A and B are shown apart, each in its own frame.
Chain A
């Protein structure tokens, strides 16, 4: 048999210094030569501990090169090739799971592996590594698992790829005689592996004779209950209890045809202490697809520092005994006998539907009891695929009342985005209109399907509807009220706009949403006699929580720009509204269509006392014009984000007298909310300690009782955003002025790092946009970080496309006070889907880089 050897010296990312050959006995007691990547204990100083990396099939220790590179200086990183795999000895025997667990133990004894040990495992290396860990609980300090499994979950069919490879006599053909299984696995990378990296994965498996263990490994997967390795696998699964005090991090690539999300859920059930980071878009080879090594390095840091894993902010939120808790539906219960209108849905010709407080309160009570009765348990996640209006309001409050967690993803994410969001959020039940349930079915969401409205029997069967909302209310009518969820129970999963990468799930607890309601009430002076026109998705649902009637205008609420002034006026008239909440894009359209209002409508509009617009910066002129349509009412534009809303608030009057500064003035932090700045270093990273010193630019950090609890299954993202204890890092940059007002200067991702220092985009953009020829501007960097040149890209309708004229260039440089390397004129700048007003500066920067590189990139 072929002995162990060293890998070729030129494999990308693999330092030959890391490799060594070690002899240790196999399960039969025969000495065998192993190839091991091992960075210690030869380095200077004592390593923090050992990172033991266990590969799966058909890879080898090469797959862990990024971990060796990231951690090899501080930890001893040990990554062996299993016997018969990689560059370890080829043997003439079958190594079962039990053998491999024994063999790994012999090897770590031989290597004198000392604790603390952080175990990292991928694929079928998982059961081997966990089997090893269960025998070494005295030295195991942490476990990180990458797309693996310890069992065949009951609800899971055999992974198709494995089933194909296992099919009868095909096994040796697929896995050994040909490279089909090897190449098939390497093709699972997203994006495709660079040619030289794929070649490195293949290097130890060039001849069929060297691939025997690949076939054996597949044959050893205990799919059948009578498989010889089944007992070992079950023992590993059952033994996980021995690791209950060990921190576990699950790093997952969901685009995996082998280990789909259900295997993740199985691991989460078995390892309740586990933290999860699901890398959207990554697949089976998650370590190639996503920054896994960086996440493991942070995990290792935490373990070394003895930091516990609690990054959430809940304990501070428990209400003090002096105040009586008001639940999200307390406002509804207060008016349970009130026969006046609570929610009005507007149609094209007047009110389409209205429900009273009494109706809403009883529906919510009955429906929630019904949900509980049919198995919707506390903290179960429920996708709500219902357009804003009376039905969504009832369903939302009933879900809350039942203690379940509504998952609210708006259609603005698009179907693929919605699919990613809902699958990632692990929803167990779906409540929807026909279109919503049909989409859910298309996404492969499983669980209880509940329809809003009754369908024809055929459609009902086709969509797999288990209950209608009416049926549930009927069921619940006779039953006791559901138990009230605690303030620390999860209350909602909302999604970010996904403007920068996949939408992130944001988890709120009841205390946080209750605090949000209270902050909104106080900030905008909302009184019981107020009445609200809600043309802005999150607030469209808040009426009952605020205890005031609300009307949803006739519009596509996911497309704010579809709100006309007439639709708004009709909604105002329907409830004699005093408050209007609308998105910035909606305001523009209201102003544009204001001339279509008749005298009576104008008078109705004139009775509104407060206009509120949030979601994106609102140009002062737009806010003023919209306020004038509403009889010159007070206008506010609060600042906030999906993770914390509102953070700060500013009125039109303050904007008009606030002077000019570098950025957008968003006002004073609202009551109960603290804002601090984390200053930027020269590379544009917000590394500075939090400060409230005026005129220091950095990342805006927020603390308050209504800030999000955590990001859903995004451990590394959550860890970064909450790295200052109790604070949320917003990803926005800005500064506080001497009066304590906050100015927003852009996004962290949009910082421009020039040799002369950091430039933030919003201030220069605003100064440019004051020039007559310029309609819209984006200021971006081109070139590598730290050496960037600043470029202005503008919409200037009367100018030629391409490099701007010298006159315009000079004017822009003068106005901005920035020496732009170039000024480019384009027809249209890309804006985000949800708000239709935030410029996608990353895309602009890429486009500008192409054009200015001279690659003839299109100026569009």
Chain B
């Protein structure tokens, strides 16, 4: 298991441990999970090789996730890291690999309505993250052959209690009055409640032989407007939802300026707006789940409504 310190990675590892699998995590940090782990960087081929001795299957979730940053870093972590995982899997004759990917690898800016998991295309993917993940998915799926089964799973906008990536940022911005909608937040998107995404990855691990070489988008299958999603997340956290809206052109223009200054001033962390983010928040992207659910023999157990209740419960615990 790579990327086991992320919320999703940990969710997968917990499920595997709970059902009796032996989990070995490859991780950079010193978080001390309740399962064995090897310390090291995914970019270090030697460490990756070492971590993958006596292993039956790999879930590769480690990635650099950000909307800004240098290409070199995305490439070395996301593409190079995947290459190391694939090489090690071959070297040790590991038969199963689940590549955690992203719907952005096949989203080129146009609205997607009930879309399929189209092939990843690094040349057309928007931004460093999507491009590097597209390259990684391609090389992982290309590695599938008679001795190695590979499936790419693309969870769409994973969120849940404890999530600092998506929920945390939305709530933080709303709390400081900086959360705005773009074009009224009318774009329809689908998202994935954390537990459902983790279940789907475990299902993919079990089905990898039957679906080897294929890619699947995973989501709750409940598309909602951006306005509704943001408002529900804010309300769950006890902060007011967005009330202002700016036109896409303004958001996109602001994003371009921010990207330039952010990079020029070498600031850390995530910028408040980028062109990619403006596009994501104002363009429909939701995916058909029929093939995913049938092929992975998986269905989301937690509907959106219950997810929001759980999120609200987690915030009220924190606030007490």
Residues of A within 8 A of B (CB): 755, 782-784, 787-789, 802-803, 806, 809, 819, 821-822, 824, 849, 851-856
Q: Tell whether B289 is near chain A: CB-to-CB under 8 Å.
A: yes
Which 8 interchain pairs have the tightest Cβ spacing?
A854-B187, A787-B114, A853-B111, A783-B114, A783-B113, A803-B227, A852-B188, A853-B284
A853-B188, A854-B284 are known contacts. Are A819 and B222 too (CB-CB below 8 A)? yes
Question: Cβ of B80: which chain A residues have Cβ within 8 Å of it?
Answer: none
The 5 sampled A-B contact pairs (Cβ below 8 Å) are A755-B290, A782-B113, A789-B188, A821-B225, A854-B284
Q: Tell whether B282 is near chain A: CB-to-CB under 8 Å.
A: yes
A783–B226 Cα distance when bound, in Å, is: 17
A822–B189 Cα distance when bound, in Å, is: 11
A293–B253 Cα distance when bound, in Å, is: 48
B202-241: CB near A (< 8 Å → 1, else 0) gives 0000000000000000000111111110011001000001
B49 CB to nearest A CB, Å: 43
Question: Which of B114, B186, B228, B286 is the one whose CB lies under 8 Å from A851?
Answer: B186
Cβ of A821 and Cβ of B224 under 8 Å apart? Answer: yes
A787-B114, A787-B288 are known contacts. Are A822 and B224 too (CB-CB below 8 A)? yes
Question: Cβ of B221: which chain A residues have Cβ within 8 Å of it?
Answer: 755
Question: Cβ of A802: which chain B residues have Cβ within 8 Å of it?
Answer: 184, 186, 227
Question: Which of A789, A806, A822 is the one whose CB lies under 8 Å from B232?
Answer: A806
Cβ of B222 and Cβ of A755 under 8 Å apart? Answer: no
A809–B231 Cα distance when bound, in Å, is: 12
B108 CB to nearest A CB, Å: 14
Q: Tell whether B248 is near chain A: CB-to-CB under 8 Å.
A: yes
A822 CB to nearest B CB, Å: 5
A820 CB to nearest B CB, Å: 9
Contact-residue bracket for chain B: 20 to 34
Question: Which of B223, B228, B235, B247 is the one whose CB lies under 8 Å from A856?
Answer: B247
Cβ of B111 and Cβ of A854 under 8 Å apart? Answer: yes
Kindly identify, within residues 139 to 191 of chain B, every residue whose CB is under 8 Å from any CB belonging to chain A.
Answer: 183-188
Q: Tell whether B283 is near chain A: CB-to-CB under 8 Å.
A: yes
Cβ of A789 and Cβ of B282 under 8 Å apart? Answer: no
B21-58: CB near A (< 8 Å → 1, else 0) gives 00000000000000000000000000000000000000
Question: Which of B111, B228, B289 is the one whose CB lies under 8 Å from A806?
Answer: B228
Question: Which of A806, A851, A853 is the one whose CB lies under 8 Å from B231?
Answer: A806
Cβ of B247 and Cβ of A822 under 8 Å apart? Answer: no
Question: Cβ of A783: which chain B residues have Cβ within 8 Å of it?
Answer: 113-114, 286
Question: Cβ of B231: which chain A residues have Cβ within 8 Å of it?
Answer: 806
A789-B114, A822-B225, A854-B283 are known contacts. Are A803 and B235 too (CB-CB below 8 A)? no
Kindly identify, within residues 278 to 302 of chain B, every residue whose CB is under 8 Å from any CB belonging to chain A.
Answer: 282-284, 286, 288-290
- By secondary structure, the B interface counts as mixed
A31 CB to nearest B CB, Å: 49
A782 closest partner in B (C-beta): B113
Cβ of B289 and Cβ of A803 under 8 Å apart? Answer: no
Question: Cβ of A819: which chain B residues have Cβ within 8 Å of it?
Answer: 222
Question: Cβ of B225: which chain A residues have Cβ within 8 Å of it?
Answer: 803, 821-822, 852
A802–B187 Cα distance when bound, in Å, is: 11
Question: Which of B185, B188, B288, B290 is the one whose CB lies under 8 Å from A821?
Answer: B188
Question: Cβ of A806: which chain B residues have Cβ within 8 Å of it?
Answer: 228, 231-232, 235, 241
Question: Cβ of B241: which chain A residues have Cβ within 8 Å of it?
Answer: 806
A789-B114, A806-B231 are known contacts. Are A755 and B286 too (CB-CB below 8 A)? no
A852–B283 Cα distance when bound, in Å, is: 8
Question: Cβ of B247: which chain A residues have Cβ within 8 Å of it?
Answer: 856
| Most chain A CB atoms below 10 A, which of B221, B222, B227, B290 | B227
A783–B232 Cα distance when bound, in Å, is: 24
Cβ of B224 and Cβ of A849 under 8 Å apart? Answer: no
| Most chain A CB atoms below 10 A, which of B186, B228, B235 | B186
B91 CB to nearest A CB, Å: 42
Known: A782-B188, A787-B288, A853-B283. 13 other contacts (CB 8 A): A783-B286, A784-B113, A802-B186, A802-B227, A803-B225, A803-B228, A806-B231, A821-B223, A822-B224, A822-B228, A852-B113, A852-B188, A854-B187
B224 CB to nearest A CB, Å: 6
A635–B282 Cα distance when bound, in Å, is: 51
Question: Cβ of A782: which chain B residues have Cβ within 8 Å of it?
Answer: 113, 188
B189 CB to nearest A CB, Å: 9
A150 CB to nearest B CB, Å: 49
B290 closest partner in A (C-beta): A755
B245 closest partner in A (C-beta): A802
Question: Cβ of B235: which chain A residues have Cβ within 8 Å of it?
Answer: 806
Cβ of B284 and Cβ of A852 under 8 Å apart? Answer: yes
Question: Cβ of B224: which chain A residues have Cβ within 8 Å of it?
Answer: 821-822
Question: Which of A755, A809, A824, A851 is the one whose CB lies under 8 Å from B288?
Answer: A755
| Most chain A CB atoms below 10 A, which of B184, B221, B247 | B184
A851 closest partner in B (C-beta): B186
A803-B228, A822-B225 are known contacts. Are A856 and B183 too (CB-CB below 8 A)? yes
B245 CB to nearest A CB, Å: 8
Cβ of A755 and Cβ of B228 under 8 Å apart? Answer: no
Question: Cβ of A855: which chain B residues have Cβ within 8 Å of it?
Answer: 111
Cβ of A856 and Cβ of B188 under 8 Å apart? Answer: no
A856–B283 Cα distance when bound, in Å, is: 9
Question: Cβ of A851: which chain B residues have Cβ within 8 Å of it?
Answer: 186
Cβ of A789 and Cβ of B286 under 8 Å apart? Answer: yes
Cβ of B222 and Cβ of A803 under 8 Å apart? Answer: no
Question: Cβ of B289: which chain A residues have Cβ within 8 Å of it?
Answer: 755
Cβ of B114 and Cβ of A788 under 8 Å apart? Answer: yes
A787–B188 Cα distance when bound, in Å, is: 14
Cβ of B187 and Cβ of A849 under 8 Å apart? Answer: no
Question: Which of B114, B223, B248, B283 is the one whose CB lies under 8 Å from A784?
Answer: B114
Question: Cβ of B113: which chain A residues have Cβ within 8 Å of it?
Answer: 782-784, 789, 849, 852-853
A819–B306 Cα distance when bound, in Å, is: 14
Kindly identify, within residues 234 to 287 of chain B, every residue whose CB is under 8 Å from any CB belonging to chain A.
Answer: 235, 241, 247-248, 282-284, 286
A809 closest partner in B (C-beta): B228
A583–B226 Cα distance when bound, in Å, is: 42
Question: Cβ of A852: which chain B residues have Cβ within 8 Å of it?
Answer: 113, 186-188, 225, 284
Question: Cβ of B222: which chain A residues have Cβ within 8 Å of it?
Answer: 819, 821
| Most chain B CB atoms below 10 A, which of A787, A788, A806 | A787
A811–B185 Cα distance when bound, in Å, is: 20
Question: Cβ of A821: which chain B residues have Cβ within 8 Å of it?
Answer: 188, 222-225
Question: Cβ of A787: which chain B residues have Cβ within 8 Å of it?
Answer: 114, 288, 290
Question: Cβ of A822: which chain B residues have Cβ within 8 Å of it?
Answer: 186, 188, 224-225, 228
A849–B114 Cα distance when bound, in Å, is: 12
A647–B113 Cα distance when bound, in Å, is: 39
A822 closest partner in B (C-beta): B225
A733–B225 Cα distance when bound, in Å, is: 30
Question: Cβ of A824: which chain B residues have Cβ within 8 Å of it?
Answer: 186
Cβ of B223 and Cβ of A789 under 8 Å apart? Answer: yes
A821 CB to nearest B CB, Å: 5
A854–B279 Cα distance when bound, in Å, is: 9
Kindly identify, within residues 96 to 131 of chain B, every residue whose CB is under 8 Å from any CB belonging to chain A.
Answer: 111, 113-114
A788 closest partner in B (C-beta): B114
Question: Cβ of A788: which chain B residues have Cβ within 8 Å of it?
Answer: 114
A853–B111 Cα distance when bound, in Å, is: 5
A784 closest partner in B (C-beta): B114
A674–B289 Cα distance when bound, in Å, is: 41
| Most chain B CB atoms below 10 A, which of A755, A783, A819 | A783
A854–B288 Cα distance when bound, in Å, is: 18
A819 closest partner in B (C-beta): B222
| Most chain B CB atoms below 10 A, which of A784, A802, A849, A852 | A852
A755–B223 Cα distance when bound, in Å, is: 12
A806–B225 Cα distance when bound, in Å, is: 11
| Most chain B CB atoms below 10 A, which of A788, A824, A851, A853 | A853
Cβ of A854 and Cβ of B232 under 8 Å apart? Answer: no
Cβ of A803 and Cβ of B186 under 8 Å apart? Answer: yes
A849–B226 Cα distance when bound, in Å, is: 15
B54 CB to nearest A CB, Å: 42
Cβ of B228 and Cβ of A853 under 8 Å apart? Answer: no
A436–B247 Cα distance when bound, in Å, is: 50
